[in-house]
């Protein structure tokens, strides 16, 4: 039906078996491992379509796994975490995760998240060249590259998608909720402060690059990419 392969990474064997059962029932294939170091190797060897990644893992924790995988791969990652604090959620998204779900979770919700992330990934991979160019700035969403002053800057996928979305709609003001809907997806259940954190990180990369454009806060509303 689908042919997508999903890598499940959790040190709880019961959760792994449950997830494997539900995932295979939906027509996906599933691979299971129980520590972070094995997850990094399996991602290289098996090239899964998506990774379900627990945060609390032996050998390498979920944050470290995310960092390692993002050095070489844009494979979608959904974090599984027992922690509900905003800090944990934001940290995962900053490191390049595509979504997160907090334990205990409803399996139907998790399957819906998996399908949503895979739909977005397929859409992005099938799209034509996506690139916007301004003075001292090239945002290439096809290759997931951010070029600032002639140099490629390491940028997590969601940060790059956010700046592309804003720069591709110059001078248009977006609310935080609109950005969550349009960049993270309508079925993303995140906190609007996630947007603020990503904008803050982007500003650190783009500070004083040009006086002809600016990533600007519109107080009380949201953000825009202002072309002067």
Give the tens place of pLDDT for each residue, 169-203: 999 999 998 898 888 875 555 677 889 999 999 99
CATH number of 30's domain: 3.40.50.2300
Q: Are 8 and 32 in contact (CB under 8 A)?
A: yes
pLDDT band per the 50, 70, 90 thresholds, residue 43:
very high
Residue 211 pLDDT:
92
pLDDT band per the 50, 70, 90 thresholds, residue 48:
very high
Average pLDDT over residues 49-60: 92
CA distance 190 to 57: 23
What's the mean per-residue pLDDT of the chain?
A: 87
Same domain, yes or no: 10 and 83: yes
State which residues form the domain around 74: 5-126
pLDDT, one tens digit per residue, over 71-124 is: 888 899 999 887 665 556 677 777 888 888 888 888 888 998 898 888 877 666
Contacts of 206 (CB under 8 A, 6+ apart): 137, 148, 163, 215
Q: Is the pTM of this model over 0.85?
A: no
Structural domains in the chain (count): 2
Q: Which of 89, 109, 126 is the last residue of a domain?
A: 126
Same domain, yes or no: 176 and 219: yes
Q: Which of 126, 147, 174 is the last residue of a domain?
A: 126
Same domain, yes or no: 78 and 160: no
pLDDT band per the 50, 70, 90 thresholds, residue 1:
very low
Q: Which of 97, 126, 155 is the last residue of a domain?
A: 126
CA distance 117 to 115: 6
Dihedral sign (CA 145, 54, 195, 211)? negative
Residue 84 pLDDT:
63
Res. 219: pLDDT tops 50: yes
**Preceding peptide of 104 cis, ω within 30°:** yes
Same domain, yes or no: 88 and 149: no
Residue 126 pLDDT:
57
CATH number of 180's domain: 1.10.10.10
Same domain, yes or no: 58 and 111: yes
Residue 102 pLDDT:
84
């Amino acid at each position: 039906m689908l042919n997508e392969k999903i890598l499940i990474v959790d040190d709880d064997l019961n959760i792994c078996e449950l997830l494997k059962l539900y995932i295979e029932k939906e027509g996906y294939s599933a691979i299971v491992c129980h520590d972070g170091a094995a997850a990094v190797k399996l991602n290289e060897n098996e090239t899964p379509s998506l990774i379900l990644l627990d945060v609390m893992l032996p050998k390498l924790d979920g944050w470290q796994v995310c960092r390692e995988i993002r050095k070489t791969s844009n494979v979608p990652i959904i974090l599984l975490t027992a922690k509900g604090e905003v800090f944990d959620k934001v940290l995962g998204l900053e490191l390049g995760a595509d979504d997160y779900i907090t334990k205990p979770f409803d399996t139907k919700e998790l399957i819906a998240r998996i399908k949503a992330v895979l739909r977005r990934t397929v859409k992005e991979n099938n799209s034509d060249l996506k690139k916007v160019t301004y003075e001292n700035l090239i945002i290439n969403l096809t290759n997931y590259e951010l070029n600032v002053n002639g140099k490629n800057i390491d940028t997590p996928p969601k940060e790059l998608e956010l700046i592309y979305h804003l720069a591709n709609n110059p001078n248009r003001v977006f609310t935080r909720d609109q950005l969550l809907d349009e960049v993270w997806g309508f079925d993303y259940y995140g906190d609007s402060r996630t947007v603020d954190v990503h904008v803050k990180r982007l500003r650190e990369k783009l500070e004083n690059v040009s006086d002809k454009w600016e990533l600007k806060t519109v107080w009380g509303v949201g953000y825009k990419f202002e072309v002067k």
